[in-house]
Structures are given as C-alpha cells and as structure tokens.
Structure 1
Amino acid sequence: MGAALYRPAAMDGDGPTISRPVPDNAAAVLPVHLALLILAAGPADVVPSSVRAGDPDRGYEVLRSKPLLPPDFDRETLLRLGLTWPGEMKAKAKAAGEEERIAMALARYGLVAPPADDPIGGEVLNYVETPNGWVMNCFACHGGKVAGRTIPGLPNSHYGLATLTEEVRTVKLMTGKSLSHQDVGQMKIPLGASHGTTNAVVFGIVLDAFREPDMSVNTGRDPGPLLHHDMDAPPWWHVKKKSRLYIDGFSPKNHRVLMQFMLLPTTGRETVLSWEDDFRDVLAYIESVEAPPYPYEVDAALATSGRSVFEKNCAECHGTYSTDSSAETYPEVTVPIEVVGTDRVRLDALSVSHRRHLGTTWMSRYGEDPVVEDPGGYVAPPLDGIWATAPYFHNGSVPTLAGVLSPEERPTRWRRTENGYDRDRVGLEFTAVNEVPELDARYVFDTRRADIGKTNGGHTFAADLSPSEKRALLEYLKTL
C-alpha cells in the first residue's frame, strides 16, 4: 500500500545510507516532553476501544501526508526568510536562486530532505507540504540527520524551531501575511533556547488547559505555573522495547497518548476522536523503526573487550545486546534522580497531580492503562543506535559519548558543525566556545542555564573506569 517504510541499511562511504523500502520501527512518537497533553480526555463512552491492528505503512503516510495542524508558513515566505538573516548570509540569499535559497533555509533551521527513496517526496521530511502551506509533523523533532544523512526516527538535533518561528513571523509582518498559531504562541511561550531542543512539556501543559475531560475545548482554563525548560527528542526505535513512554516512564504506551501534540483549540473534539485510527497506525510505524548500524569501521577485538566492560558496568540498567534480538534484555529501570544526578527540571515540570489526571482520562482509557504518578527519576533508555543519537542525556547537554563516560570532557558551552561526526569521541563534531554570540545565540548550547534545565552534570557511573576500559567501551557502543 502507499508509503513504504525506511530503515538505515548497509553503510558505505563517509556516512549511513538510506536504502530500500523496508518495514521498520520507531520509538516514542512524541518526546518525553509532550507528556502533559495527555491531560485532555473524555468520559468512558466517548469512543469504544478498537481491536484493529495498526498498519505501519499507513502510519508513515499519515505522518508525511496528513495535515494535523494548521500551516506555519508557505513556500513564498520560506523563500524570503533570507531577508531576516545577518550580514553575509543575507547577501548570499539575495543573490541566490530559489533552489539555493531553499537549501540555505533548510540548513539554517535544521530541516532535512526526505530519504532518496521516500515515496511521498517533497522538499522536506519535517513538514507536510499542502496547497495552503507547510504543516509541522512529528518528524520535525523525530526526523534528523547524522553525518549528513537523513534518518526518519532519529532525533532532530539541528531543529531550530524558535529561530524559524521568529524569522517567519518577521517576514509575515513585512509582507502582510496572517500570523499562525505558532507565530503568536512564541510571543507568550518560549519555544526553545538552543537548536535541537524544545520547550515541549510546557506546550503540552498549555494545550491541556484548553480541554475539558471529554476533550471538548475550553479556552478559559488556567494552565497554572509553567516551568519552561528544554528537552531533546528520543529516538523512535527505542519505543518497541519499552512498555511505557517518556524519560520518566510515567505514561502508558498507547496510540492515544501520541495524539497530544495536535490538541490546538481549533481542533475540535470530534476531529480528535476521528483521528484515533490514524494514530493506531502511527504507533505501528514507530514500533517498526530499526536503529541504524554504525557506518564506519569497528575494531572488533577492542569492541569484544568493551563488551565485558559494558556487561559489568552498564547492563544492569541499559540491558544486553545481541545480533539475535530474541536474546536481548531490557530491564526498563527507573533510576532515582538522586542517583543518576542529571538535570532534574524535566522531572519537576510535571507535578503528581498532572500525572494523576492522565489516569482519569480517555488518553489512558480511564486508568485501564496504568499511570505512574510519582516516578522519582528517569528511565535508563535502551542503547540501540546510540552512536547516532548525540547529543546525549534527556536534555541534549553532552555532545559525545566520550563526555558521557568522562564528565571532565563535557564542554560548558559548545556549538556543533552541521554535518561533521566525531568517530574518536563518538558523537557530534563540536567546538567549545567561551562566550555565547549575540547573533545566532541559539546555535550554542549553554550548560550554565540551570534555570531552563540545560545542565550537564550527573551520570558519573563510568567515571572511575580506566582510560583503556573507556576506550574499549566506546568501541563496543558503536556496535549496538
């Protein structure tokens, strides 16, 4: 049927290649961060639970082809965005043709072209292209590139949502075009302080405030105090191993929870309920995405040594791995925040009452799918494809796996290159910077921003390993 699924297959040259259409698998349709939209619900008789199995092919088609939100901008606006750019970039865009200007815009805002064999086509993976404009889809945060190659289901560590929205709004005001919900929303709620991260948990809290328990709209409800913070998206290929969603594992894994992001006040109750089968298919697609294999050479002897280090020091929380998936284990352990020690703002942003409410709603089938009200920490994730998923930790604060293993290697302020990959440290190619530039500040990740959850401390479990053990462990991690 329609769209075939895509999976990173054999690698060649300098990076991963996307090859043949193959049913695949993905992991958490919406990052941990949208956890609060689940607070929208309805009485038990709203919609009966269907037993229809999800169709992963159709799920991919839904994500790539069905506009589930209003358009953010049109192609004409995209072509004019260079008018807002600084200095030489503005001059270059002004002199460029349409194709080059589109390429410049995609690079600036972290948008990626679809895989070469994608059956849907179009100019960008991250938005649905319609006659009325470009509509954000789930690949905005969950469709990225590593070493210059697009991988659906990979966290989009380039995505500059705040920068894109700000500059789109400027062009619209210059040209007399109407503002979208995103343009207006940014004036009230920050969208993200650095490229690759978003304030999505708070998006969920606010959207939930517009919903009654039966999913009907009430824009008079108060969202209460908001703890703005940045989150990195998780890889979709982890979802199939998990029984629960999000970094704190508080939410059941079901297709209804994945519907949170579309709960704009303009999306009525009946429309939301009518899309349930679509998201049944989306979850099936997500659970078909496979982790991409490491595309470069691996020192097999060193990796074998690293496996022993891993199994002694890491497997208890992160599981075991094998070429035979049936022989793998994943314990889905929640590590108390006092033990893991990573930034706790994400955990604190959702209160017990927020989480408890999910257990009363249509999203959890009125508690039939259990909710963890006070998780107390973060779930140690699976590590499949970890080589590709930099930056690391739930807030994206550490650019390489070497930094995860050795806290002293974590930069305080850093800026990545667009397509570079660090094979030695395993992760992003980056430069440490002394100061955050006034222009394009969002390209720099500043771990001093404890107020918005961007610190890079914690997870010191490997700190006492010897340099040779860490080197072997890094080599083994490439093979997962």
Structure 2
Amino acid sequence: MTKFFFLLTLISATAFAQSEPDWTAGVPVPPGGRSNIYSWNDFDFQATLNKGKIHAQVYPVTVTGMLPPYEPVRRLIEEKNSNPLRKWIQSLMKGLSGFRSFEDVLKNLGLHKYPLENERGVYAVPYPNEIRPDTLMGFGLIERNGAEGFTFSCAACHSSNLFGKTVLGMTNRFPRANEFFIKAKKVMPLMDPHIFQAYTRATDAETALLVESKERLKSVALKQPIALGLDTSLAQVSLSLNRRAKDGYANYSDKAARSPRADAYLDNKPADSKPAVWWNVKYKNRWLSDGSVLSGNPIFTNLIWNEIGRGADLHELEQWLADNDHIIKELTTAVFASEAPHITDFYPAEKIDLGRAKAGEQIFKNTCAKCHGHYEKAWNLPQALVLSAAERLKTVEVRYKEKTPVVNVGTDPFRRQGMKSLEQLNDLEISKKNGIVIKAQEGYVPPPLVGIWARWPYMHNNSIPNLCVLLTPAKKRPSIYYSGEALNKDTDYDFSCGGYPIGDKTPKAWKTREHLYDTRNPGMGNMGHDEGIFIKDGKEILSAEDKYNLIQFLQTL
C-alpha cells in the first residue's frame, strides 16, 4: 500500500509539474525573468529542455509547406556537370557551379557545424538520436508519402559561430535562408516534373514532393535582404498573405496568386531586421525588436508565420499544432531557458579591469538602466573576495521591466513602420483562437543587455559595428563598415570597443562588396540613440574615459 501511494504521488507530481503560462498582453514579468516558463519540476524541466533543443535543430513541423525532395536535389548538385538539367539551372542561377556538395549549399545558407561532444554549458546541445550528425545544424529531413524532403529549422537563423564554437539561440550574423526561397522561386516554376524525374532518377513519390513544392511556392512572396546579415522573413509573411484568399484561414488560391493584393509599404520599402537572440525572451512580455506582438506564445506565433512564408495549408497547420502541443511546449521551454555566452569563456578575466568595470557600473545606472534594466554583479556580494576573477565578473540577477517598454530614440524607422502590414495577421482565425495580437509601434524595445558583448553589430538593423560607435554622436558615426565571421578572437573582435574592428583594423579578407554595410541606404540608417541619452543640450556628457569604463562594464553582462 505504501509503495502504491508513493507511485501515485510520483505520477501526480509529474502530471501537474507544469502550468500554462499567461500569454495575455501586459502580464508582469518577475525579476530574473521566466526561464522556466511552464514551471516544470527539475526532472521534467531538463528533459523538456533537451527535447526542445532538438526541435530547434531539426524542424519538427511535418506539414511544412516547402519540402523539396532531398536525394534528387542532392544528386543534381553533386553529380558531374554533364547533367543537362544541372547546366540549365546554372544558366538561370549564377553560383551553383561553385557547389561541389549539398553541404556546400548548406554552408552558403549560413548553417553551422554541430557543437563537439566535449562542449559544455551554452555551447553544448543534445544530439538527435544521441549521435552528433555529420550534416550542419538547421538542416533536417521529413518523410512524406514515401519520400524524404529537406527543410530548415530555427537554428538556421538562431545559431551562430562564436570564435569556433556554435551557439544555439544566438543571432546568425549571416543568415541566407531567404536566398534559398528566392532561388527556388526562380527555378521551380520552370521545372518540368518529367524532366526532373528523368535527369535526377527521382521516384514517383519524390517527384510528387517537387510538384507539391511548386504549388506551395505560388503563395509565397519574397524580398531580397538589403544587406548581408539582415532578414526579410516578416515581409515574406505579409506579402505571402497578400497572395492568398481572405477566408479567415488565408489559404492559397490561384486567383489570389494571379492578382496578389498590393502592399502600400512593403512593395516599395524595406523592413529588414536581424534575427534576435533567444536568451532575452525570458525577460519580456511582448515580442520582436519593436514589441509589436502584444500577446500569444511567441514560439507558437513564429511557427504560424514561418509556415505562411513557406506556403503551408493553414487548416493542416492548425491541426498539427493542436495534435503536437507537447512539441510547442518543448520548443518554448528551450527558447525561454536559453543562456548567453560569457566573455571569460574566450578571454582571461584579467582582461577586464575590475576597477573600470565598477566605475562603468555607476555610469550605466545613471545613464542606461532606466531603459535597459538593472544588473546585480557578483563583485558586490559579501563573499566577492573569495570568488575567482571570472566569477566576480558574472551577473547574479537581472531586473528588467515588468512590462516590456517601447521607446523611440530616433533609430531607423523602416522596420517598425513595416509592421503595419502584418496587422492583417490579426484577422486569421488561427490568430484569434490563440490570442495572437499584433500592433505596429512608434519605437523599438530597449532590450535587456545580457550577453551584449557577443551581439555585435548593434541595433535591429546591424547599423552600429561596435560599442564605441554606439557611444559616438550619430553625426560622427562612420557611414560604412565591413562585416566578417568571428573566427579569430584576436583579429575579428575589437576588445576595447566590443564588436567589429573598423577602419584600419578591418581584416583585409572582409573588404568585399557583399560584406560592405552602407548606412546611407534606406532601412540601414545608424541615426538615433544619442540625444537625451549621452548627449544633453547638444553636448556629450560622457568623457572618453567614461565610455571606456562603460564598455568594460557592458562586456561583463
């Protein structure tokens, strides 16, 4: 009887270990954020977190709209150039000839290697099937009607290389997922299924996947990003809705595709932004860089938008979401529990001058904390002297706003203005049923600054290459800079300025047209975030030493 009671108690505790979060608008966020968003018990939390990380790596939505057949496409890329179909595609798309393997294509799309088996902490991930995959993270296969198609997951945009380590949940500095759709949109409508089958040896089931993808692409509208490192997914969602019938579910119709609704803003203006880091989500109660998503589970919402941009049937998607609530919980758990890398993982703690960092802490409290929150440091603890140098630099508590603010500090407005076009998502039945509300804002969210040292370049549009430039009056900021991968911590990161090396420090290999960022272009402006912050009555209130000390503090967050 005692054993039975113990078992019953254990089952009951597991069954009620989680609770549904409050996703309504304005729900207060407690100090420290909501890292365990479903209030799992310790055992279930870790198990659910691991499952969620795997979903982030390998896309779980089996009814996804775009699912090209894998093996025929792989053969088309990897076989010799004597294949007439390959030559024809090359004539349509320059650059395909440079790909010798399917992995070359994935690398070009910005995907990264899986973390090694010996990685720990934020640099480790659980592997699908407990084995480190040979392919790149973000690529996955889905079986449908007897054939395997390939797709891309959250990790394609939300993982990045940081000095040789892959960090899941970090902004991909060079996402090219949009380019996959742009190239597919160019080629697929011209692809005859019979010719494709003949030259790729595709099975009937694989050819059917191609036909399905061709059909789904009709309801997908695309925009080329204005710069490498920026993403046009939100524009893709809104413009794709304009190609669907307005039936409450926005499903595809030939008539709508032939005569898509015009968009007064997005047809002519950019609304690009960089993918966001995940580790800040726990501190917020409204989503995206402008806070325009007022309510609803942001992960659930993102999956809906993702599938609108892939041409999915929203009736099928709604049913999949209802049948797979556990997957939504797992993925949401992983995103909210995400943690930032720390600078001492790559540099000795002594490289941060503790005295200067403490002075910077006071400057931050006086200048920045009212918008960006408060950060309690270990160096202020009573036992700080017995801590290691690295431990003293860590943040022990983050106190961000209970209700996520939106502030207009004069930064480039194109991105937030473009959100007006996405308000049509409120009309979808799937949005109404799940409490998803979008409202364009008059500014941007001043984000929590956790892990800011690793989040360069700065601003929603990547217009600020490093923290020194961020603390420079807008009229004195450089109009151009070059971007590059964070491969070498000594040459690819300016430690004193926290971000890209610019000017004479720019690595020669970065100086290409693709990696040039020109802030004079629409949507790429580097204005704002100066007057009323560190400029008062037209004069700077921070000295050069103040700025250096502030950057030293910021790099410890």
- Please confirm whether the aligned pair reaches a TM-score higher than 0.5, indicating the same fold: yes
The answer for the alignment partner of 2:340 in structure 1 is 291
CA distances 1:226-269 after superposition (whole Å, capped 9, x unpaired): 24332111111000000111122121251431222112434341
The answer for the alignment partner of 1:232 in structure 2 is 274
Contact 1:198/1:230, CA 8 A, preserved across alignment:
yes
Question: Structure 1 residue 215 and structure 2 residue 249: aligned?
Answer: yes
Counterparts of 1:317 and 1:347 in 2: how far apart (Å)? 18
Contact 2:425/2:431, CA 8 A, preserved across alignment:
no
The answer for the alignment partner of 1:330 in structure 2 is 400
Name the % identity.
23
SS at match of 1:334: coil
Question: Structure 1 residue 459 and structure 2 residue 529: aligned?
Answer: yes
The answer for the alignment partner of 1:26 in structure 2 is none
The answer for the alignment partner of 2:3 in structure 1 is none
Normalised TM-score (structure 2):
0.64
The answer for the alignment partner of 2:500 in structure 1 is 428
Aligned amino acid, residue 113 of structure 2? A
CA distances 1:106-163 after superposition (whole Å, capped 9, x unpaired): 5544221121134123321122245735311111111112223210010101223355
Contact 1:56/1:281, CA 8 A, preserved across alignment:
yes
**1:165, CA displacement in angstroms?**
5.4
**1:457, CA displacement in angstroms?**
0.9
CA distances 1:309-338 after superposition (whole Å, capped 9, x unpaired): 10000000000112587843112553443x
What pairs up with 1:4-43 in 2 under 5 angstroms? none
Contact 1:67/1:135, CA 8 A, preserved across alignment:
no
Aligned amino acid, residue 278 of structure 2? W
SS at match of 1:471: helix
What pairs up with 1:269-280 in 2 under 5 angstroms? 269-276=315-322, 277=325, 278-280=327-329
The answer for the alignment partner of 2:21 in structure 1 is none
Contact 1:360/1:366, CA 8 A, preserved across alignment:
no
Question: Structure 1 residue 57 and structure 2 residue 50: aligned?
Answer: yes
**1:58, CA displacement in angstroms?**
2.2
SS at match of 2:497: coil
The answer for the alignment partner of 2:418 in structure 1 is 349
Q: Residue 285 of structure 2 is aligned with which of 225, 235, 243?
A: 243
The answer for the alignment partner of 1:12 in structure 2 is none
CA distances 1:53-81 after superposition (whole Å, capped 9, x unpaired): 99332222223234533246744456589
Give the CA RMSD over aligned residues.
4.0
**1:292, CA displacement in angstroms?**
1.1
**1:275, CA displacement in angstroms?**
2.4
Structure-2 change in CA distance of 1:147 and 1:429 (3 Å): farther
Larger Rg: 2
Name the structure where helix makes up a greater proportion of residues. Answer: 2
Counterparts of 1:379 and 1:217 in 2: how far apart (Å)? 32
**1:272, CA displacement in angstroms?**
3.2
Counterparts of 1:355 and 1:132 in 2: how far apart (Å)? 35
Structure-2 change in CA distance of 1:239 and 1:379 (3 Å): same
**1:361, CA displacement in angstroms?**
4.5
**1:426, CA displacement in angstroms?**
0.7
Aligned amino acid, residue 284 of structure 1? T
Q: Residue 302 of structure 2 is aligned with which of 242, 248, 258?
A: 258
Contact 1:78/1:168, CA 8 A, preserved across alignment:
no
Question: Structure 1 residue 139 and structure 2 residue 155: aligned?
Answer: yes
Structure-2 change in CA distance of 1:415 and 1:301 (3 Å): same
SS at match of 2:552: helix
The answer for the alignment partner of 1:115 in structure 2 is 115
The answer for the alignment partner of 2:20 in structure 1 is none
Contact 2:141/2:149, CA 8 A, preserved across alignment:
yes
Contact 1:256/1:364, CA 8 A, preserved across alignment:
no
Contact 1:109/1:160, CA 8 A, preserved across alignment:
yes
**1:389, CA displacement in angstroms?**
0.9
SS at match of 2:157: helix
The answer for the alignment partner of 1:416 in structure 2 is 483
**1:166, CA displacement in angstroms?**
5.8
Q: Residue 150 of structure 1 is aligned with which of 166, 184, 203?
A: 166
CA distances 1:359-412 after superposition (whole Å, capped 9, x unpaired): 874335465x6x463532111110000011111101111121111111466432
Contact 1:71/1:136, CA 8 A, preserved across alignment:
no
List alignment gaps of at least 5 residues for structure 1. 1-49
Structure-2 change in CA distance of 1:268 and 1:170 (3 Å): closer
| Greater length-normalized contact order (CA 8 Å, ≥ 6 residues apart) | 1
Counterparts of 2:505 and 2:109 in 1: how far apart (Å)? 21
**1:444, CA displacement in angstroms?**
2.1
Contact 1:212/1:218, CA 8 A, preserved across alignment:
no
Counterparts of 2:286 and 2:444 in 1: how far apart (Å)? 12
**1:90, CA displacement in angstroms?**
9.5
CA distances 1:404-454 after superposition (whole Å, capped 9, x unpaired): 1114664322222222222121113456899xxxx974332221211xx11
Counterparts of 1:293 and 1:286 in 2: how far apart (Å)? 18
Q: Residue 313 of structure 1 is aligned with which of 339, 343, 367?
A: 367
SS at match of 1:201: helix
List alignment gaps of at least 5 residues for structure 2. 1-37, 82-86, 118-124, 201-209, 379-394
Counterparts of 1:81 and 1:290 in 2: how far apart (Å)? 45
Structure-2 change in CA distance of 1:153 and 1:79 (3 Å): farther
Which moved further from structure 2: 392-401 or 216-225?
216-225
The answer for the alignment partner of 2:461 in structure 1 is 395
Contact 1:238/1:381, CA 8 A, preserved across alignment:
yes
CA distances 1:45-104 after superposition (whole Å, capped 9, x unpaired): xxxxx999993322222232345332467444565899979xxx999x68x8x6xx94x6
Contact 1:415/1:432, CA 8 A, preserved across alignment:
no
Aligned amino acid, residue 152 of structure 1? L
Counterparts of 1:433 and 1:447 in 2: how far apart (Å)? 19
**1:471, CA displacement in angstroms?**
0.2
Contact 2:423/2:438, CA 8 A, preserved across alignment:
yes
Counterparts of 1:165 and 1:80 in 2: how far apart (Å)? 23
Contact 1:58/1:281, CA 8 A, preserved across alignment:
yes
Q: Residue 362 of structure 1 is aligned with which of 405, 414, 430?
A: 430
Counterparts of 2:526 and 2:330 in 1: how far apart (Å)? 36
Contact 2:365/2:374, CA 8 A, preserved across alignment:
yes
